[in-house]
Structure 1
């Protein structure tokens, strides 16, 4: 397998002369000048992102033509280790307190906004990044806006269309499909032996193009083909996730739990029958229940009036169908969306049950650093509102070699799992990013 670089969070960005502000040192907090104005409908949000920006300088959180896109870096911080969430939030709070903000729109996602992505494990070399772009365009509920940060002009740049990657070649990641199938078999034996109840195993693969991969091309493909997912990009991590880890909007907290998957066939009649079988599948229902209860337990200390449906519904996506449950509650302790995301991570949907033992099995069987795959990704505003998804159906563009991207997929393993079927499911989950590279 070709070596794939996992640079330290600060090293390559400093080498390129980028501004990493503060590094969680409050004394260095810059005073940002933030202006948000109403905007006539700008059209396709992803299509507004200018060409020529490094992948790390492209930000997106878009679903069904609504959301946010941004570019450039007005301020950013990298954190790592056990305190990566707390350190990022401390930096964010100081940035908010020092900012000079004029917000003529005053909606979630206006004013000062930071885009973030966080590593799955505290030991990961990838760490975490929280980035404030120089320009942000947003649209929600029929309203559009433009936010500028430390800029003297509010003119949107001219846009050059993105071009498809060429000459893309695929190689195995840490494990070949056959080796990963064996790892799934080992996990099933651990479950039968009572070591764990569930574990989520991921695998990766490397794709290399002839030239630098344009994240705008990936975002355009994902937002068009998978409209019910959030097309995201933060610090070189690009994907289309169907799973909303948490949304905090004026005191209402919601989380969408996905666990239990079946691949679509392309035949409507057959897919309806498959959806019915998924809704009755004891294996998938057990997997889903683990995930729902872990989310409920994490949110309950922050919320009252929790609403946890008794049964999941089937979410239909172009490539797969999932068992899904929307959990909601009323925020009672004033926690920010980032604090809530930290409380929820890692859920059973991306790690397993019990969490500690499942994490140890992941370390033993995956033979790779997930980086920011399966970690929280999303945005936060100055009010603490925000949306954070789980970085699924995603790939990390190599900072040091942007013609390469590392794709990921994972599957929940329970006692009733079949290794061959899990490999097929992982292929279905890789499909959105594989297709986006064409």
Structure 2
């Protein structure tokens, strides 16, 4: 269904959620076409079909999408026997990094399967005013392997990207700004149409502590939770400062200790935490901000991480909070405007939906939004070409060779997910 202006007649939304026995892993319930996924440690949401959608461009994309969703759900008839966050009608969303030519989208699936706190459910929706059919899970075709995948540099080679990092460091040292996050892309091509369930299953299995996602052609496994709003509480996980892991556990512990003491990485992390705290403050009556970060261990890298928590002070939805937080210093830089100007000047790259909010929102405004990192964008309807992205935070002490190695490490999850 194509999107319509906000002034158009709102469909009559009816949703039914029923509890079901354990159907097995959420990803195993998905058909191959356009899967919608938000899964971590086996819990989350998996959807398919398209009952309604809203596509939007421009600087007001978050507020316009939020208004569309509120209009759609305001008069909805909802029969929900489970009453957990993520039950009832849920829209999956994927937004662009900036207000360029690519559209942002909210998609309301026809069917969603959910799992949380030892309970499973199915939600079906209708937008014609009728009660949707009794939920049932379809039989799904086996997952297809992608075949041999080839990789090539995107808009810049590794050496060229290293040179723009050096340029950015020089300009930071000259006082133009404090931090900028620079991204690079890798192009992957498959000999036949990619079954998106293949990389999603591999990402979920290998990175269970991350949020595996798939929304409207963007898929990945992000370690960074931009914002969660749930029953009056707001949480956010900030990551900034990274070191590549080895295959030696003892050595990795030493590397983690060095990361926790690194003045360069601690400075980068402080910028990111401060930007998130400042953006969340207008929505919260109180906040808890830990004084020091912890080290998050992932299979390929380790990050400095801080979990922020607050109590909501108003009715702003999780989507509006995500829009207010974007772009944080972790994906843009500091000051924000200067960093965005430098990104456009140096990257020579349309980020599309990379490093932007991705997640879901329910009819109460609760939801979870991550940052689309460790991800790929499927470029065409044939699903044979993907753009893989990785970015690094550049500050005064950054070394171009080390940043290039970090970007290679951050590309590993998607590269491995596409391999056979």
| TM-score in terms of structure 1 length | 0.93
Counterpart in 1 of 2:112? 136
Task: Choose from 75, 79, 96 the match for 1:119.
Answer: 96
Task: After TM superposition, give the deviation of residue 153 of structure 1 in Å.
Answer: 4.3
Residue 20 in structure 1 maps to residue 2 in structure 2:
yes
2:137 and 2:384 map into 1 onto residues whose CA distance is: 27
Superposition map of 1:151-170 within 5 A? 151-170=132-151
Corresponding residue SS for 1:408: strand
2:7 and 2:17 map into 1 onto residues whose CA distance is: 25
Task: After TM superposition, give the deviation of residue 236 of structure 1 in Å.
Answer: 0.4
Name which of structure 1's ranges 100-109 and 351-360 shifts more when overlaid on structure 2.
100-109
Give a deviation string over 1:256-289, Cα, whole Å, max 9, x none.
Answer: 0000000000111000000000000000000000
Give a deviation string over 1:158-212, Cα, whole Å, max 9, x none.
Answer: 0222122112111111111111000100000110000010000000011010111
- 1:120 touches 1:375 (CA, 8 Å); kept in 2? yes
- 2:18 touches 2:135 (CA, 8 Å); kept in 1? no
Q: Name stretches of at least 5 consecutive residues in structure 2 with no aligned partner.
A: 127-131
Counterpart in 1 of 2:125? 149
Corresponding residue SS for 1:27: coil
Task: Choose from 51, 75, 94 the match for 1:74.
Answer: 51
Counterpart in 2 of 1:14? none
Counterpart in 2 of 1:15? none
Counterpart in 1 of 2:416? 435
Pairwise CA RMSD: 0.9
Counterpart in 1 of 2:62? 85
Counterpart in 1 of 2:258? 277
2:185 and 2:145 map into 1 onto residues whose CA distance is: 22
Task: Choose from 371, 385, 395 the match for 1:404.
Answer: 385
Corresponding residue SS for 1:34: strand
Residue 249 in structure 1 maps to residue 249 in structure 2:
no
1:277 and 1:64 map into 2 onto residues whose CA distance is: 29
Task: After TM superposition, give the deviation of residue 155 of structure 1 in Å.
Answer: 1.6
Residue 422 in structure 1 maps to residue 403 in structure 2:
yes
- 1:203 touches 1:408 (CA, 8 Å); kept in 2? yes
Runs of 4+ in structure 1 over 2 Å off: 24-28, 150-153
2:75 and 2:380 map into 1 onto residues whose CA distance is: 31
Counterpart in 2 of 1:353? 334
1:98 and 1:366 map into 2 onto residues whose CA distance is: 45
Corresponding residue SS for 2:295: strand
- 2:226 touches 2:238 (CA, 8 Å); kept in 1? yes
Corresponding residue SS for 2:8: helix
Task: Choose from 311, 318, 321 the match for 1:340.
Answer: 321
Aligned residues: 414
Task: Choose from 157, 179, 195 the match for 1:176.
Answer: 157
Counterpart in 2 of 1:320? 301
Corresponding residue SS for 2:383: coil
- 1:26 touches 1:94 (CA, 8 Å); kept in 2? no
1:404 and 1:99 map into 2 onto residues whose CA distance is: 39
Task: After TM superposition, give the deviation of residue 28 of structure 1 in Å.
Answer: 2.8
Counterpart in 2 of 1:40? 21
Counterpart in 2 of 1:3? none
1:102 and 1:306 map into 2 onto residues whose CA distance is: 34
